[in-house]
A and B are shown apart, each in its own frame.
Chain A
């Protein structure tokens, strides 16, 4: 099972910041938080990842709480093309070792 929980869906107005929360209360000290997104019937696209510090790249910012039990992905100026399912992932130890296990994610709808 995925180690993260996310809201099922969110709406955001075009041009506004989209803030997508994720809970990962059982995360271990050396486990990274990853964010991916998937547009319908395409392969998931990497967005950003981090361990302890906040991270920023050309796509988004990742804010990780000090206790690392939750994080927020921020899309600073959402566009219609940002409509997608967003996955927050922590690698889990399963039958295959340490691997990426996807949950249902958050369906973000950016509205005009």
Chain B
């Protein structure tokens, strides 16, 4: 256990569905992250929250919408996804200071049909 919990572990959704991924950290960290990992590709950073404030990201499609209601919880709201959005979505947290480690959850394996 890393102290970062993601739910659900697996998700299958149609292109017209709306779903949300949840992440919770019990480590007292002040930064949380969403990464996407497509098959056989490196992790791609999607969103970062520092002290609940999102750092703007211009390259993630608007069909992905993050929410960080407090420093322990992070959501990724999904709507009208495409099959190419099928991937492993990973949440992570850290202290936003130099030399601090990044802790990952187990990820949500998403399949869009």
Contacts and interface: CB of A to CB of B under 8 A. Distances in A.
A101 interface: yes
Contacts of A41: 88, 107, 109
Contacts of B90: 43-44
Interface size class of chain A, counting residues whose CB lies under 8 Å from the partner chain:
20 to 34
Main secondary structure of the interface of A (DSSP, over half): loop
B98 A30 contact: yes
B104 A97 contact: no
Interface of B: 2, 4, 33, 35, 42-43, 45, 48, 50, 55-58, 88, 90, 92, 98-99, 101-107, 109
Given A43-B4, A100-B102, 4 more contacts: A36-B102, A46-B103, A102-B42, A103-B42
Interface of A: 2, 30, 32, 34, 36, 41-46, 49, 51, 94-105
22 contacts: A32-B98, A36-B102, A41-B107, A41-B109, A42-B107, A43-B2, A43-B105, A43-B106, A43-B107, A45-B2, A46-B102, A49-B101, A51-B99, A94-B45, A96-B45, A97-B48, A97-B55, A100-B45, A100-B102, A101-B45, A104-B42, A105-B42
